[in-house]
Amino acid sequence: MSVVLDGVFWLLAVVSVASGIAVFRVDSMARATYALAVSFVAVGAMLLLLNLEYIGVITILMMVMEMAIMGIFMIMFMGMNPALMPMSMVHNKVGSLVLAVGVFVVLAGGALLIDWPDRRGAPAGDLTRSLGEAIMGSKMLVMLTVSPLLFATLVAALVLANPRGRYDRFGDDLRAGTPSGPAREGDDS
């Protein structure tokens, strides 16, 4: 069984690295986006191998969702839309190459050279739960403070970005009987 698992691990590892490289080798925004999605999905599947079912599946869910939305933004923000045509995915080649190789060498070297401690104790029964407690347990107060702030920031950003808020739809005193729907004004379709 462990031979099969090893095989699956190496397959996923190769897929994730290869599709990560593909992100920079392909010539289309859509392909780059979904190559990255494949890379993330492979990493999510590797988490499943660690018996972290919830975190693995959630990673896949969130990454596919994010990449689907990111693809739209990547194409949208390319002025005059060259994103619909074949284009290079790389800018500042030398600089980014130096950075990427440097970071890889530091991280991989660290992982290989560090004197890993021996395992103490046995793994917990419910890995997802214990991981959650390890991450959140002592930081709960921070999380509780940060989350309303983040939420308020999101709402504020949306209010600022929204071209037609409720005052546009219900009038200045919010007394209009029927709102002017999104399709009635400013609708150029």
Partner 1 sequence: MQVGPLGALTAAVLLGVVAVLAAAFDGTLGARLQGRRAFSGVTAPLWEAARLLRQRRRTIVAADSLLWRIGVVGLLVVALLKVVVVPLGWWTVADLSIGMVWFNAMDVMVWALVWLIGWGANSAHALIGGYRFLGQALSYELPLMFALTGPAIAAGSLRVGDVVAAQQDLWFVVWMPVAFLVFCAGVVAFSVWGPFGAAAGEDIAGGVLAELSGVDRLLVLAGRYALLSAGAGFVVALFLGGGSGPLAPAWVWTLVKTLAVLAALIGVRRLLPVVRPDRLAEVAWIVVLPAVLLQLLLVGVMVVL
Give the interface size with partner 1 as a residue count (CB under 8 A): 21
Footprint on residues 38-57 left by partner 1 (CB under 8 A): 53-54, 57
Residue 157 found at the interface with partner 1 (CB under 8 A): no
Instruction: Report the candidate in 16, 96, 95 with the shortest Cα–Cα distance to residue 49.
Output: 16
Residue 181 found at the interface with partner 1 (CB under 8 A): yes
Q: Is the dihedral of CA 37, 4, 111, 133 positive or negative?
A: positive
Out of 69, 108, 134, 176, the only residue in the binding site for partner 1 (CB under 8 A) is 69
Q: Are 42 and 51 in contact (CB under 8 A)?
A: no
Q: Binding string to partner 1 for residues 5 to 44, with x set by CB under 8 A, is what?
A: -----------------------x-xx--x--x-------
Cβ 63 to partner 1 shortest distance, Å: 9
Cα(67)–Cα(29) distance, integer angstroms? 11
Out of 15, 18, 64, 131, the only residue in the binding site for partner 1 (CB under 8 A) is 64
| Terminal alpha carbon distance of the chain | 58
Q: Is the dihedral of CA 108, 109, 114, 118 positive or negative?
A: positive
